[in-house]
Amino acid sequence: MTHRQHQEAADQTTPAQQGVQADARPNARKVFMRTYGCQMNVYDSERMNDVLGTEGFSATDSMEDADLVILNTCHIREKASEKVYSELGRIRKIKEERALAGKDMMVGVAGCVAQAEGDEISRRAPVVDLVFGPQSYHRLPELLAKASGGAKVVETEFDIDAKFEHLSERAARPVLKRPPAAFLTVQEGCDKFCTFCVVPYTRGAEVSRSVEQIVTEAKQMAASGVREITLLGQNVNAWHGLGANGETWGLGRLLRRLAEIDGLDRLRYTTSHPRDMADDLIEAHRDLAELMPYLHLPVQSGSDRILAAMNRKHTRDEYFRLVDRIREAAPDIALSCDFIVGFPGETDQDFQDTMDLIRRVEYGSAFSFKYSQRPGTPGATMSDQVPEDVKSARLLELQELIANQQTAFNASRQGMTCNVLIERKGRHAGQVVGKSPWLQPVAIDGSEDLIGTIQAVEITRIAANSLFGRLIAGHHDLIGSTADGHQGGGI
């Protein structure tokens, strides 16, 4: 696994509207949630807020006002653990100041660093009251009760079935209105064991939710105002869930079922592995207007030698042929990718093979990183580690190429009319922001009552990472990915 998930949500506070609702009671307990890393962590933080809301907690954006602080951590980025311990040092001071004022504060560490380091966190950071992995958040009330009694709680069991059952129970309950775009976890864990990755050790083996569980939650989300759902999984296109008749479904069939739900107008999924792009999934990109023309398909390297060392179990030629099949089915699709530069043993030629792959595929966007050693992974013990200065130089060169491709892709949208899901207020008064079918932010002049609608927008200006446009008069609350109802292209 490596998903685009691991960049998008880095270091953010989970706002109240994503989970815990505001509570007018003066004595209500307050929770501060900070989320690191991936979209899966964002989803988990939202569900933790749901759980805490039933326990009388309300959200706060101020750590100093919090009765409970939770860091939902990610183990993908370099020096992830050190970042957590640094933040815990700051929290310790705040907790001490609150104690002097006669106020309690509990501190929890959740997520993949918690799963990987468990008891070590409690040992190194006595300020922490409870440590729990990503499969245990549904037990938060029980864990908080133990910690309130003075126990140091460390819970890192893999109980994914119980977590999925909790999600299903929650989906059966009515909720307040939600933002127009949301995440839905359908699969967790990874069986691929890439030699650079910790996910199989922190999230466990691949487990898929059932069709009924997913459809029930998706219907509830649509009923609460969600119009776009992104299906999440460490290896989401490996999802294989049980249907009502005991048969096993693949992701393509699931997407077709979700497209039938009233009010649910847009579908996405992330992150995918090239080995799991089945024919029915590629055909879904051809057939479903609701499935947005965007696909994150990490390759990591363009060198067959490095791909083998990474245990990716596909070749560059197989990746090329897969891209050709996808683009034949959906010619307007935008591809994004992950790249790791400086994997142990990577030569100048290996790196040039990666640059050649990027030039041949032409990505709409990509995420790139210098290789960093992860304790417990095979890559960490490999000989011939690449010097940091070499990795830095290669990364700079690769990112320049990717930036040029992204600029060219964005420029190709100039003058196009496409459907935009309006999601939030913009940075400026009288401005709202939504997403294009190709996942680009689009800013337009418009009122807040447009939020939650799908509008035809002409793209009038291009920026480095976003688009600007104007509303097309007479086209309101449209369905599909483009204003003419076809997937991808403009009017």
Known binding site for [4Fe-4S] cluster: residues?
Answer: 38, 74, 112, 190, 194, 197
CB atoms within 10 A of CB 297: 22
Q: How far apart are CA 357 and CA 351, in angstroms?
A: 10
Which amino acid does the sequence have at 425? K
Look up residue 185 and give its two tokens: 């976890």
DSSP letter for 451, please. T
414 closest CA partner among 476, 359, 455, 463 = 463
Binding residues: 38, 74, 112, 190, 194, 197
Q: How many CB atoms lie within 10 A of CB 372?
A: 17
Q: Tokens 């939710």: give the residue.
A: 209
- Type of residue found at 222: A
Q: Who's near 95: CB < 8 A, 6+ residues apart?
A: 105, 107, 127
- Quickly list H helices, 27-159: 39-54, 80-100, 111-124, 140-148
Spatial separation of the C-alpha atoms in residues 422 and 452, rounded to whole Å: 6
The answer to whether 259 and 246 are in contact (CB under 8 A) is no
H-run or E-run covering 26: none
Half-sphere exposure of 34 (CA within 13 A, CB side): 18
Q: How far is CA 398 from CA 58, 316, 366, in A?
A: 44, 17, 10
